[in-house]
Amino acid sequence: MSTFPDKFRLDGRTALVTGSGRGLGWEMAKGLAEAGARVLLHGRSLARLAPRLAELRAAGRAADAIAFEMADRAAMAAALSEIGPIDILIHNVGERDRRPFTEIAADDFARLVDTDLSAGQALIKLVVPGMVQRGWGRLILVTSIAAELATPGASSYIAAKAGLAALARALAAEFAATGITSNAISPGFFATETNEALIASPAGEKMRLRCPSKRWAEPWEIAGAALFLASPAAAYVNGHTLTVDGGVTATYLS
């Protein structure tokens, strides 16, 4: 007899998590795998993904890996044509360009928006037809609290992340009747590998104090949000941005 906690299980589902070789992508992928999903790790290089893939398989999890550059649409399509149906897509890949607006050339702006936003749209177009056909799917787009709380020196990143949140809402309106939900996750200050230098800096300490929780989040703390939105338990959650930030965006000053 099934119980309510069973609604958080993902047995029989296949989940693709882009940018899952490290950081938040890895934590989300690991969480979904532990909930029973077959997880497809994604990165630019299969060699870089190999240790993570081995870790999942050693733990008895179902996992495979695919590699392609988000900007290479032909490679993206070829990779997805070989892996079978995707039930859950978490689009996590995101690049940053930390320069003042006046120093970012138009081509550089367009390139980052293409990687962070347009590539997600291209990927969704490849997986959605199968979801519609099967009458079930989960689209989860990883944005950022920077999409709502802007900061100097990140204009292209902020624009792309805000676009992802809007895209999640648009897809929710368009596909809800087909059994597909579309949502976003908005992380706050997470202590990932890429943020190590920032955390140790005066700016990082200021960010820690800005958070009502008075700490940076541990990377694994993103996994619960991803699992919830991917699971049957969230079947009626649609077009929502789930913020995981320790209360930063809920406060004016702290």
The rounded distance, in Å, linking the Cα atoms of 121 and 70 is 11
The pair of three-digit structure tokens given for residue 89, joined into one six-digit string? 């897509």
236 is catalytic: no
List, as one string, the DSSP characters of 19-74: T-SSHHHHHHHHHHHHTTPEEEEEES-HHHHHHHHHHHHHTT--EEEEE--TT-HH
Q: How far apart are CA 213 and CA 246, in angstroms?
A: 5
CB-based contacts of 5, cutoff 8 Å, min separation 6: none
Helix axes 23-34, 46-58, angle to 10 degrees: 30
Q: Pull the structure tokens for residue 167.
A: 């895209």
> Which among 157, 189, 190, 216 is annotated as catalytic?
157
Catalytic residues: 157
